[in-house]
């Protein structure tokens, strides 16, 4: 497994340390099949690398060779590189794009050490950026990936050219009871797959989610077969937000069930110079709903950053 095309010696069976793992070989095999099917839908990566970090090896994929300051994509909870399929063509047109599977989440990276809080999260991302051979990068994250990008801006700003946040979870406003319900429901042992698909559809604004949708199958399989050991994401303090020095673009979904969108927008605007937009008809699945608009808006935003 150490020489697998994608996976970096995944944890199978509950380990001694508090790290993410697949409960069984059968569960990993189900997830791996969904992951491979998802990767087959993407543009072929120009490069595939394994990067060493303090918390475990990180799988990274480079898409395109557009030059300039590169863009690094950070996925949401229970998500990984295949979830960026619709976004890659537009983003690759303007920037060299890297996608990295997050430590502690189901994907091709593997967690070796427990994550104790936001500083640890920012550290592995900064180390991954360094391992990719990048001096610094634009970060674009969706949901908890947006939270993660924010933490890098707070704790590791030297590695960050800018951050673009797509409806970031637990970053600018508390999680709603609806999101808590989805989070708790997704990890109930033995929950039927149709129920997991229903939860995913709910958070995605009612979009169809079933076995015929590769992204939905991947996330639903992750919910069933992977046990995360992530610490609860801590919302940044007002002082931390006020002291962010890197450029920030925050795109908030008007139909998000994750947080109170207007409250989140008000808080986001306390970041000095932040560009904050509410897209009224978008759901929390904004990256899949508006890939072309996101690519155009990011290109406009990044063009003004030296």
**Nearest of 144, 59, 64, 154 to residue 109 by alpha carbon:** 59
Distance CA 132, CA 199 (A): 35
* CB within 8 Å of 147: residues ≥ 6 apart: 141, 168, 169, 170, 171, 233
Q: Which class would CATH give 21-303?
A: alpha beta
What's the whole-number mean pLDDT along residues 62-72? 91
pLDDT tens column, 38-56: 999 999 999 999 999 999 9
3-class secondary structure, 62: strand
pLDDT of residue 16: 87
Q: Quick check: 145 pLDDT over 80?
A: yes
pLDDT digits (tens, 9 = 90+) for 150-192: 999 999 999 999 999 999 999 999 987 666 566 555 555 555 5
pTM of the model: 0.91
Q: Which of 32, 129, 47 minimizes the C-alpha distance to 82?
A: 32
Domain boundaries, the chain: 21-303
Which two tokens mark 120?
């640890």
In angstroms, rounded to a whole number, what is the distance separating the alpha carbons of residues 212 and 220? 12
Q: Reduce the secondary structure of 136-164 to three states and give it as a string.
A: CEEEEEECHHHHHHHHHHHHCHHHEEEEE
127 DSSP 8-state letter: H
CA proximity to 283, closest of 150, 140, 179: 179
């Amino acid at each position: 497994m150490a020489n697998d095309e994608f996976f970096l010696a995944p944890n199978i069976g509950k380990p001694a340390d508090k790290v993410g793992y697949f409960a069984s070989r059968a569960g990993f095999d189900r997830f791996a099949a969904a992951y491979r099917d998802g990767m087959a839908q993407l543009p072929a990566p120009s490069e595939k690398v394994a990067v060493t970090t303090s918390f475990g090896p990180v799988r990274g994929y480079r898409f395109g060779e557009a030059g300039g300051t590169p863009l690094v994509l950070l996925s949401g909870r229970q998500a990984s590189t295949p979830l960026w399929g619709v976004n890659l063509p537009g983003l690759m047109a303007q920037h060299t794009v890297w996608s990295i599977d997050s430590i502690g989440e189901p994907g091709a990276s593997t967690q070796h050490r427990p994550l104790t809080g936001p500083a640890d999260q920012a550290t592995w991302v900064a180390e991954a950026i360094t391992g990719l051979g990048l001096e610094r990068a634009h970060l674009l994250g969706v949901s908890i990936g947006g939270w993660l990008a924010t933490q890098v801006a707070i704790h590791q700003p030297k590695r960050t050219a800018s951050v673009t946040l797509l409806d970031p979870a637990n970053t600018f406003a508390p999680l709603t009871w609806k999101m808590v319900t989805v989070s708790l429901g997704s990890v109930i042992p033995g929950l039927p797959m149709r129920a997991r698909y229903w939860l995913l559809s709910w958070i995605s604004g009612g979009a169809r989610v079933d076995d015929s949708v590769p992204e939905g199958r991947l996330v639903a399989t992750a919910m069933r077969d992977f046990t995360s050991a992530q610490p609860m994401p801590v919302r940044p303090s007002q002082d931390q937000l006020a002291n962010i020095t890197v450029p920030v673009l925050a795109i908030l979904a008007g139909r998000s069930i994750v947080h109170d969108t207007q409250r989140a927008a008000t808080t986001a605007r306390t970041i000095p110079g932040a560009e904050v937009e509410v897209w009224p008809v978008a759901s929390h699945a904004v990256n899949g709903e508006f890939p072309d608009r996101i690519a155009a808006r990011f290109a406009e935003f990044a063009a003004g950053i030296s």
